[in-house]
Amino acid sequence: MADDAPPIDEMHYEKLAQDALRGVIRAALERAASPGGIPGAHHFYITFKTRGPGVSVPPDVVAKYPDEMTVVLQHQYWDLAVEHDLFSVMLKFGGMPKVLTVPYTAVTRFYDPSVQFLLQFEAPEPVAEPVAELPAPKRTEPSPSGDDGPKVVSLDQFRKK
């Protein structure tokens, strides 16, 4: 009898394709970070998970955008640094400069509206916020009343007949 199990993609082509497309983002940002800046009317809307692995966003910004945010790189951005796995950029929020660091794996959308170019990606798993451990409740010994178990009360006695 033939094995009818679906073939297993041991090459992980979907991940390879996603990584290659994230390389397009990196190349576009490298061009934006060059001395010539973003050419022509191009500009980028970059949407990312604010709690994605490796994302660094100031706490006040995360408080305002707890799940996802979109930044626009067009005219007012500073110190764009593009690395192999992430980029960082300074933007102003309420007139205050803030540095954001975003791994490409946290990006869910990259859009250049000047040419209607859009890339969409699956969202990464969020990073769990550290939870302070609560002390275990103190065990109290039951009072010696001779009662070994919970009381069971029949609700029938309270029903109207």
The 3-state DSSP class for residue 29 equals helix
CA distance 80 to 98: 12
Contact present, 68 and 93 (Cβ < 8 Å): no
Mean pLDDT of 88-103: 95
pLDDT tens digits, residue range 19-38? 999 999 999 999 999 999 99
Q: Are 70 and 42 in contact (CB under 8 A)?
A: no
CB 71 within 8 A of CB 87: no
* Listed residue (123, 78, 122, 72) closest to 96, CA to CA: 78
The superfamily CATH assigns to domain 13-121 is SspB-like (2.30.30.220)
- State the Rg of the chain over Cα: 27
pTM of the model as a whole = 0.73
Q: Mean pLDDT over residues 39-56, rounded?
A: 95
**pLDDT at res. 132:** 47
Sign of CA dihedral 44, 80, 84, 61: negative
